[in-house]
Amino acid sequence: MLTKRIIPCLDVKDGRTVKGVNFVDLRDAGDPVELADRYAKEGADELVFLDISATLEKRKTLVDLVKSVAEAVHIPFTVGGGISSVSDVKALLDAGADKVSVNSSAVKNPGLINELSNEFGSQCIVVAIDSRNVDGVDLVHTHGGTKPTELKTLEWAKEVEERGAGEILLTSMDHDGTKAGFAMELTKQLSETLSIPVIASGGGGTEQHFKDIFVGGKADAALAASIFHYKEVEIAHLKNELKKVNIPVRL
C-alpha cells in the first residue's frame, strides 16, 4: 500500500505566510522560507506553496520566493497562484518547484490542463478544487474562493482527471480553518471515484482528524496549515500516531 502523505501548506501573501478561517480574516504566520525549512526537518512528505492573492490581483506567483523556498528544502514542493500558461509553469519548475497547482485558470480554460499535462507530464500537474456546499450541492469556487461557479465538484474532478491532471488538491471551504475535521464524505466520494491521488485540505485540527480522513475519507494525502504553523500538532508525533493504527507513513 502507498504511504499516506502529510503536507504542510504555506499560504503566502505579500511575501509572508498567512492563515485565515473560511478563506478570510488572515493573520501572519511567519516567514515562508523558515517554515519550509522547519517542516522539511520535522518530516513533512511534501510542501504546498500557494500565493493566495496572485489570481485576485492578476499577477504572477513570486518566482524569487519560490527559488528561496526550493533552496531551503529537499522534499517535493508544489506551487500555485496565478498560473495560467505554459510559460508560467516553466518559470516555476525552473525556479525549483516539483509540481504546480492550477485552479481558477483551469476552470476558465479547461484545455489548459491538457496543454500543461502534455507539455510537462501529468505527474507535476495538480488541480486545486475549492469546494463549498451551496443548498446541498458541492460547487467549485474560484479566485481564492470568492467566486462561485455552477460546476459540481465531483463532475469537475472527473473532468480534470480525464484532461490529464496527476493529482487533485480538494479544499473544503466549509471546513477551512475550523479545525473541526476534514470533509469526510466529499473526500471519500472523490477518492473512490477517481484513479488519481486526492489530497484532503480544510479542517484538520487533531491527530484523530488525520486518522479519520485516511481511513474513512480514503484520502491519499492530508494537507494542513495553522496547526503546523503554530505547533498545535507536531508532524513527527502525528506520523507516529498514524503508524500505531497501521496507517502507512514514511518515518
Which amino acid type is present at position 162? E
The label of the residue with cell 488519481 reads: 196
Per the CB < 8 A criterion, the answer to whether 28 and 16 are in contact is yes
Of 11, 45, 88, 176, the active-site residue reads: 11
Q: From the candidates 45, 51, 88, 130, which is the catalytic residue?
A: 130
Cα 115 from chain centroid (whole Å)? 21
- Residue 234 grid coordinates: 507536531
CA distance 208 to 248: 15
Round to whole Å and give the CA distance between 47 and 183. 21
Is 138 tagged catalytic?
no
Answer yes or no: 11 catalytic: yes
Residues 18/27, Cβ–Cβ less than 8 Å: yes
Q: Copy the grid coordinates of residue 85.
A: 500558461
Amino acid at 20: G
Helix residue ranges, H only, 164-249:
184-193, 207-215, 226-229, 235-244
Contact assessment for residue 221 and residue 4, using Cβ atoms and an 8 Å cutoff? yes
CA separation for the pair 242, 101 (Å, rounded): 27
Q: What are the catalytic residues?
A: 11, 130
